[in-house]
Amino acid sequence: MSNLSNIDFENLSRNDLISILECKKEDILKIMDLANSKRENTFVTYSKNVFIPITKICKNDCGYCAFKQSPDDPDATILLEKEEILATLKEAEKYGCKEALFTMGEDADEEPAVKIKLEKLGYENMPDYIYDICKMTVEETDLLPHTNAGNFSYEDMKKLKEYNISMGMMLENSSERLMNTIAHKKSPGKDPKIRLETIENAGKLNIAYTTGILIGIGETKEEIADSLLKIKELCDKYGHIQEVIIQNFTVSPGIEMESHEEPSLLDMVRTVAAAQLLFDEDVSVQVPPNLNYETSQIFLLCGTDDWGGVSPLSEDYVNPSSPWPTLERLEKLTNDAGYQLKERLAIYDKYINEKYIEKSYIN
């Protein structure tokens, strides 16, 4: 007998979500069809971006991280200077990129090597430096900044909003238990209370925001359901969450969790379908295509309507062993599934108004 018969799909509860996340083979196709039926149009969007890691120094040390570098590494990116960044942005303009995705390790300025270089450049902290980089981007290029750098204080986010068209940070998971596991035990910035506060502050400040969860890092189905519901709660309260990413853990050489098992395709299908069924139609559900190179079309059949940021110029520095698909491949995959590929900005259309965009963008 189907486990779906008692689910209220109009008002999903925690138990309903868990049932979806645990559904067996006879129900998986039904769940996919239900999720896909919420699709509002036949477009699948993407943002053409350039990915710029301002620093790869980070106070966190996640078990799955392939981004962080040690300041003692002779090849470490301690801090890119504005001239280097501007040169990359100008190159990105030639490729038609519209989004400047700025990433960095969390609270990198707590590391002396970063602090020293910041002071040499005339800055006291990373938020002030990021502000000037984003200001430079808006004033000297055609690209729009999107900063994804972990937790910020309310005051720092308020300042950064002036020159960020949107911002983001993955919740990853709302479970306190994971703070005692290999995934997050050495990562104080992954405390879910802190991350949820950051996401809420973005809502209070009317910042168009991207967040999501990471599956396959030792979480339970109950913890996935709780994480999605926490995001939904903030989304319903403030209306600022424009997209929810369902990201799968992938093994990279040299990480602490190198022998850890990756989530199965069906686990991803169940989770993506659950998210699509939970969130309103105007919240995009996204699955990174480079982390699912051979299986990404399956998620289009679960209702996903966005490929996320894809760069024709730079690599995915967070997942260096997973190259971006070309735009030609994305278009072929999209068309083959019966949809049309459509470029978007780093801010979704519904947020292009004075509530979410600062005057710095209005010419």
Whether 329 is in a domain gets the answer: yes
Mean pLDDT of 338-342: 97
- Per-residue pLDDT tens over the stretch 64-93: 998 899 999 998 999 999 999 999 999 999
DSSP H helices, the chain, are: 14-21, 25-36, 82-94, 112-120, 126-140, 154-160, 192-204, 221-238, 265-278, 296-300, 327-336
Model pLDDT, residue 200: 98
- DSSP classification of residue 197: H
Determine phi and psi for 123, rounding to 5 degrees.
-125, 145
Residue 314, pLDDT score: 79
- Paired tokens of 201: 């502050």
Q: Which residues pair with 245 in a beta bridge?
A: 212, 286
Residues 167, 105: Cα–Cα separation, whole Å: 15
3-state secondary structure (DSSP) of residue 288: coil
Pairing of β 99-104 and β 340-344: unpaired
- CATH label of the domain that carries residue 111: 3.20.20.70
Domain contains 56: yes
Predicted confidence (pLDDT) at residue 24 exceeds the cutoff of 70:
yes
Does the annotation list 58 as a binding residue? Answer: yes
Q: Is the pLDDT of residue 250 over 90?
A: yes
pLDDT of 208 > 80? The answer is yes
Q: What is the pLDDT of residue 8?
A: 84
Q: Residue 44 belongs to what H/E stretch?
A: strand 43-55
Question: Is the residue at 7 inside a domain?
Answer: no
φ, ψ for residue 99, nearest 5 deg: -110, 130
CB 285 within 8 A of CB 303: yes
Domain enclosing residue 33, as ranges: 14-361
Question: How many domains does the chain contain in total?
Answer: 1
Residue with tokens 């990129």: 97
Residue 5 inside a domain? The answer is no
> SS3 of 102, please?
strand
SS3 content of the chain, % helix, strand, coil (to 5): 40, 15, 45
Each residue's pLDDT tens digit, 285-307 = 999 998 898 899 999 999 999 99
Please name which of 273, 292, 247 lies closest in space to residue 148, comparing C-alpha atoms.
Answer: 247
Say whether 306 sits in a helix, a strand or coil.
strand
Q: Given a cut of 60, is residue 23 above it in pLDDT?
A: yes
pLDDT at position 2: 56
Smallest CA-to-CA distance from 278 within 38, 29, 88 is with 38
Contact 64, 217 (CB under 8 A): yes
| Count of helices and strands (H, E) across the chain | 11, 9
Confirm whether 340 is domain-assigned. Answer: yes
Residue 1 has pLDDT above 80, yes or no: no
Question: Residue 6 domain-assigned?
Answer: no
pLDDT of residue 293: 85
- Say if 8 falls within a structural domain: no
Q: Which amino acid is at 12?
A: L
Tell me the per-residue pLDDT of 120-172, one tens digit each, with 9 for 90 and over: 999 999 999 999 999 999 999 999 999 998 899 999 999 999 999 999 999 99
pLDDT, position 50: 95
Amino acid identity of residue 64, one-letter, is Y
Q: What percent of the chain is predicted at pLDDT more than 90?
A: 84
CA distance 17 to 8: 10
From residue 184, give the alpha-carbon distance in Å to each of 199, 218, 281, 319. 19, 10, 32, 18
Report yes or no on 121 lying in a domain.
yes
Q: Are 68 and 77 in contact (CB under 8 A)?
A: no
State which H helix or E strand residue 271 sits in.
Answer: helix 265-278
Nearest CA to 351 out of 211, 171, 166, 168 is that of: 166
pLDDT in tens, 318-330: 776 677 888 999 9
How many angstroms separate the CA atoms of 249 and 270, rounded? 15
User: Is 62 annotated as belonging to a binding site?
Assistant: yes
